[in-house]
Amino acid sequence: MRGRIEIAEVEPVVDCGRYAAKAVVGDEVTVGADLLREGHDHLAAAVAYRAPGERSWRETPMRLDTNDRWLGTFGVDRMGPWSFAVGGWTDHYGTWADGIRKKHAAGQTDLDVAIEDGARLLERRTDLPAAASEVIAEVIAVLRGTGTLSDKVAAATDADLLALLERHPERLDLTWSAEYPLWIDRERARFSAWYEMFPRSEGAFWPAEGDDRSPRSGTFETAAKRLPAIAEMGFDVVYLPPVHPIGRTYRKGSGGPHDLDPQPGDPGVPWAIGGPEGGHTAIHPDLGTLEDFDAFVAEAQRHGLEVAMDYAIQCSPDHPWVTEHPQWFRHRSDGTIAYAENPPKKYQDIYPLDFDTSDRENLWQALREVLEFWIARGIRVFRVDNPHTKALPFWEWVIAELRREHPELIFLAEAFTRPKMMATLAKLGFNQSYTYFAWRNTKEELTEYATQLAYGEVAKYYRPNFWPNTPDILTEFLQTGGRPAFKLRLVLAALLSPSYGIYAGYELCENVPLEPGSEEYLGSEKYRFRPREWDRSDSLAPYIARINWIRREHRALRDLSNVWFHEISDPAMLCFSKVAPGRTDPILVIVNLDPHHPREATTALDLGQLGLEGIGPFEAHDLLTDTTYLWHGPHNYVRLDPDVEPSHVLHLRAL
């Protein structure tokens, strides 16, 4: 016989348990399931769960919510692979107790047999600890005693007795669901602020047009001088594009992606990994030594910053693997190695690895060892370049393998591709993912996208990392919207998504494209050094610092599942809130999405969602400007002039 109780639609479950749902240390994980049994008998249910390495199960009770849905919650206090299952059983005594109460309430008096039925249900509980048995014995004595019916019913349905029996359930027909995986990360996997910088640009020299002097690369030592400013802006993670030797063959020139004629001194693209000096485990000699790298990492740590490395599985034609392990590459019929192509486009400076090579085991092992090499040097965060062009089973394997020793690892998937591919990478194990945020500009687009990420099926495993810009992505919105655009896109990224990042230069509102219609930067740092004047008086650095401070101060901003969109009358204004657990500490963000014009509007706040229902006037304290407004009810007037400040970030407080 199959299970006596029908258990279905267990959540959070991804692809029938093929993949793990995700949460972070400190979360309360709520498990839901439909439980069904014939007839009117009462059911009871529990979630069984265990932490990594635990053999025995712990249990937490489930409660009937509505429509045969049961919910139970447990806290997760450590990283790694947890698992859970749902169990259900018939609550025979509870059924009887409910019945006797109803019969008594309906005035039935001929209940001697019914009372004795209950006594026998208690009597058969010979499995209880002594203290519980004593309580039970007392109740049985009352039921069989000479007291009134009311006394007997009261004793039989006593809340303490029912609680005792709930703690020691009789589970004659206990039925378990399958066991489901749950992956628990450290909190940074969900809540993080990233800053992307090319270390070679810091302390570098790049000659202006007509200047004959040679370019000079920055070093880890000079780049480290930038770390205090990054920390001061409130970031958690400093992400470095590849720091390895760069290929010469087919090197791109400093003119940009179409410049196939590099000049002496053109440093090449960091993603063309590998040269005579080494490959994925070597440091570019211009940047320094491995020890310099270590020192940079240590300096970052001193400033509370984690260094994220780039993991790009591809080789320049000069990578040592090309000669040492030619079998790891696909060969063409003339014996040459196949360069990357997306016909008719050619990427001759890049050799992809062949994940299906006959020497697969050694290749995959070598790729794993690259990660292990950097892990051994203290790196725990990897931004993975184009994971959607590498074999999917490789990711599942390598992430699972490394996590066994290092559950604290964080992999950010840099896949800007089809939605199901992006979702699949997250299922396979990536802890965070880039998104389409950069191209979601309107109120409708932003609302729809954030709602899908927060409440859709993907919410169980896909953690968005919102980037308003990257070295590859200078959006039209930023190109044309000026400083207000940079401010408002920062607010949206940082306050909609618990994880977000910016690429260096954002604070200076760099927004000149290579050419009209292109998202490439003019003078892109991918092809040259780009030293910057960080101390410009118009830098957004203090603004960024303020935003990151708000993120840290307010628990509500660490999550995405709490985002809520409120109506606001202007179609170019967005109004959303986040609340801490228990609908406390509400933060309300209002953004004028139009960087060119002042906008004014009236809000229609959902006060219940904000935990402010029926409280009368309340304070709206703008955390950006330290201004306080007195608001009344759902409808409040707002005006935002983008040249002054495109956003309100309001901390709402009952008076």
Q: Enumerate binding residues for a copy of itself (CB under 8 A).
A: 1-4, 6, 8-9, 15-18, 34, 36-40, 67-68, 98-100, 102-103, 105-106, 108, 113-114, 116-117, 119-120, 172-173, 332-334, 336, 341-344, 355-356, 388-393, 396-397, 418-421, 424
8/644 with CB nearer a copy of itself: 8
354/570 with CB nearer a copy of itself: 354
67 is in an annotated binding site: no
Strand 6-11 and strand 351-352: pairing?
unpaired
Tokens of 625: 């400007």
| Alpha-helical runs (H) found in 49-110 | 92-105
**Cα–Cα distance between 555 and 579 in angstroms, integer?**
8
Question: What is the 8-class DSSP label of residue 355?
Answer: T
- Report, in Å, the least distance between residue 117 CB and a copy of itself: 5
575, HSE (Cβ side, Cα atoms, 13 Å)? 25
**Cα–Cα distance between 96 and 102 in angstroms, integer?**
10
Tokens of 376: 């051994």
- 299 a catalytic residue: no
Report yes or no: 247 and 317 within 8 Å, Cβ to Cβ.
Answer: yes
Q: 58 Cβ partners below 8 Å, 6+ apart?
A: 48, 49, 50, 74
- Report, in Å, the least distance between residue 452 CB and a copy of itself: 14
- Report, in Å, the least distance between residue 377 CB and a copy of itself: 28
Work out the angle at residue 589's Cα, subtended by the Cα atoms of residues 585 and 595, and round it to the nearest 5 degrees: 165
129/343 with CB nearer a copy of itself: 343
Q: 203 Cβ partners below 8 Å, 6+ apart?
A: 218, 219, 221, 222, 223, 225, 531
**Cα–Cα distance between 651 and 655 in angstroms, integer?**
12
- 385 a catalytic residue: yes
| Alpha-helical runs (H) found in 191-261 | 220-224, 227-232
429/501 with CB nearer a copy of itself: 429
| 586: preceding bond cis by omega (within 30 degrees) | no
Residue written as token pair 């066991």: 179
- Report, in Å, the least distance between residue 492 CB and a copy of itself: 26
The beta-strand segments (E) located in 406-519 are 410-414, 432-434, 464-466, 499-503
Is residue 83 classed as helix, strand or coil in its secondary structure? strand
- Report, in Å, the least distance between residue 139 CB and a copy of itself: 15
- Report, in Å, the least distance between residue 94 CB and a copy of itself: 13
DSSP calls for 300-338: HHHTT-EEEEEE--EE-TT-HHHHH-GGGS-B-TTSPBP
- Report, in Å, the least distance between residue 381 CB and a copy of itself: 23
462 is in an annotated binding site: no
Q: Torsion angle, CA of 134/138/139/142, rounded to 10 degrees? A: 170
22 is in an annotated binding site: no
Question: What is the 8-class DSSP label of residue 515?
Answer: S
- Report, in Å, the least distance between residue 435 CB and a copy of itself: 17
252 is in an annotated binding site: yes
- Report, in Å, the least distance between residue 98 CB and a copy of itself: 7
204, HSE (Cβ side, Cα atoms, 13 Å)? 27
**Cα–Cα distance between 290 and 204 in angstroms, integer?**
19
HEC profile for 129-188? CHHHHHHHHHHHHHHCCCCCHHHHHHHHCCHHHHHHHHHCCCCCCCEECCCEEEEEECHH
Q: Distance between the two ends of the chain, CA-based, in angstroms?
A: 61
- Report, in Å, the least distance between residue 538 CB and a copy of itself: 43
Report yes or no: 275 and 316 within 8 Å, Cβ to Cβ.
Answer: yes
Query: Nearest to residue 287, comparing CAs of 334, 354, 240, 248?
Result: 240
Residue written as token pair 């790049």: 206
55/420 with CB nearer a copy of itself: 420
| 344: preceding bond cis by omega (within 30 degrees) | yes
69/168 with CB nearer a copy of itself: 69
Query: Nearest to residue 475, comparing CAs of 513, 501, 448?
Result: 513
314/497 with CB nearer a copy of itself: 314
100/410 with CB nearer a copy of itself: 100
35/309 with CB nearer a copy of itself: 35
Q: How far is CA 512 from CA 5, 217, 508, 522, 597, in A?
A: 64, 23, 12, 6, 22
- Report, in Å, the least distance between residue 101 CB and a copy of itself: 8
Catalytic residue among 310, 354, 385, 520: 385
Give me the residues paired with residue 23 across strands. 184
475 alpha-carbon distance from chain centroid: 23
527 is in an annotated binding site: yes
298/338 with CB nearer a copy of itself: 338
80/118 with CB nearer a copy of itself: 118
Catalytic residue among 286, 414, 510, 585: 414
310 is in an annotated binding site: no
Feature table: binding site: 252, 314, 349, 386, 526-527
What residues act catalytically? 385, 414
Feature table: binding site for alpha-maltose 1-phosphate: 252, 314, 349, 386, 526-527
